[in-house]
């Protein structure tokens, strides 16, 4: 079973930098495997609280190498909640890679633990019979300080349901819980890694500069 690691985060930065430079990214330095995965980009300015700039992944198993390559770009450039990340933002970026494991069907919508489990909800809207679904990674409810019910209600809204959230609506939920490993890396740490391992300084100009 694969765990999120430094090399996966490096590969996501490599992929984004190479996209801006219109060049091939360096080969990954981690083993391939099949897992669901997510890539999250946050922006940190003046030492403040990291602010989300993009987060997209897949709940279905993917080959990790192709998956991280795809979702590094999709989450950075095509998360509809945010404008695409610009090259000038790179120095302020933090990348978090998540590898999802241990999927389990919950007994009900409260059968999970904040800070331990990520959750996937699926439910049929009353009246319209529209099927809704959404997920939160394990760190989200804990970071927000939510109770289980607050997290569930927020996720119901994220899924696109705009009606009143009653206990009857909550009881419609089929919940799948999962766990994940994650690794976070700031752009400055990425630069240090590349300097130490490749003797190069990444640059957004189509080239990488050798160390002097």
Regarding whether 164 and 121 lie in a shared domain, the answer is yes
Residue 206 lies in a domain: no
Residue 212 lies in a domain: no
Are residue 17 and residue 90 in the same domain, yes or no?
yes
Task: Give the whole-angstrom CA distance, residue 72 versus residue 79.
Answer: 11
Average pLDDT over residues 150-175: 97
For residues 78, 52, 175, 165, the Cα torsion angle rounded to the nearest 10 degrees is -100
Instruction: State the total domains in the chain.
Output: 2
* 122 shares its domain with 17: no
Both tokens assigned to 40: 């999250």
Phi then psi dihedrals of residue 119, to 5 deg:
-135, 140
Do 32 and 80 fall into the same domain?
Answer: yes
Query: Quick one: average pLDDT of 160-172?
Result: 96
Residue 30 sits in the same domain as residue 67: yes
- Whether 203 has a pLDDT exceeding 60, the answer reads yes
Residue 173 to residue 134: CA distance in whole angstroms: 11
Residue 134 has a pLDDT of: 96
CA-nearest of 95, 83, 4, 81 to 43 is: 95
12: containing domain: 6-101+180-198
Does residue 166 sit within a domain? yes
> pLDDT category, 12, cuts 50, 70, 90?
very high
Closest by CA position to 36, among listed 182, 141, 155: 182
Q: Are 97 and 10 in contact (CB under 8 A)?
A: no
* Residue 139 within any structural domain of the chain: yes
Q: Say yes or no: 96 and 115 in one domain.
A: no
- Residue 147 counted as domain residue: yes
Beta carbons of 104 and 177 less than 8 angstroms apart: yes
Name the more confident of 122 and 203: 122
Residue 71 shares a structural domain with residue 142: no
pLDDT at 206: 45
> Which pLDDT tens digit goes with each residue over 114-155?
999 999 999 999 989 999 999 999 999 999 999 999 999 999
- Which CATH number is 49's domain given? 3.30.700.20
Q: Are residues 25 and 87 in the same domain?
A: yes
- pLDDT tens for 49-77 read 899 999 999 999 999 999 999 999 999 99
Band of pLDDT at residue 47, cut at 50, 70 and 90 = confident
Residues 25 and 86 in one domain: yes
Cβ neighbours around 156 below 10 Å, total: 23
Q: Is 33 exposed, middle or buried (0-12, 13-18, 19+ CB in 10 A)?
A: middle
Question: pLDDT-based confidence at 205, cuts 50/70/90?
Answer: low
């Amino acid at each position: 079973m694969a765990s999120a690691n430094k090399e996966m985060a490096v590969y996501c930065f490599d992929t984004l930098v190479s996209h801006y430079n219109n060049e091939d990214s360096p080969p990954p330095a981690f083993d391939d495997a099949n897992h669901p995965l997510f890539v999250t980009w946050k922006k940190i300015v003046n030492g403040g609280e990291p602010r989300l700039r993009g987060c997209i992944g897949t709940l279905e198993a993917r080959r990790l190498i192709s998956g991280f390559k795809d979702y590094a770009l999709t989450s950075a450039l095509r998360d509809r909640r945010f404008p695409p990340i610009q090259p000038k933002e790179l120095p302020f970026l933090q990348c978090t890679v998540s590898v999802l494991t241990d999927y389990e069907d919950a007994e009900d919508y409260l059968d999970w633990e904040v800070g331990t489990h990520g959750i996937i909800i699926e439910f049929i809207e009353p009246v319209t019979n529209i099927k809704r679904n959404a997920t939160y990674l394990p760190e989200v409810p804990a970071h927000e300080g939510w109770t289980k019910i607050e997290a569930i209600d927020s996720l119901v809204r994220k899924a696109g349901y705009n009606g009143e959230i009653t206990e009857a609506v909550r009881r419609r939920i089929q919940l799948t819980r999962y766990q994940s490993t994650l690794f976070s890396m700031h752009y400055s740490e990425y630069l240090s890694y590349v300097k130490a391992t490749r003797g190069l300084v990444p640059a957004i100009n189509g080239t990488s500069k050798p160390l002097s």
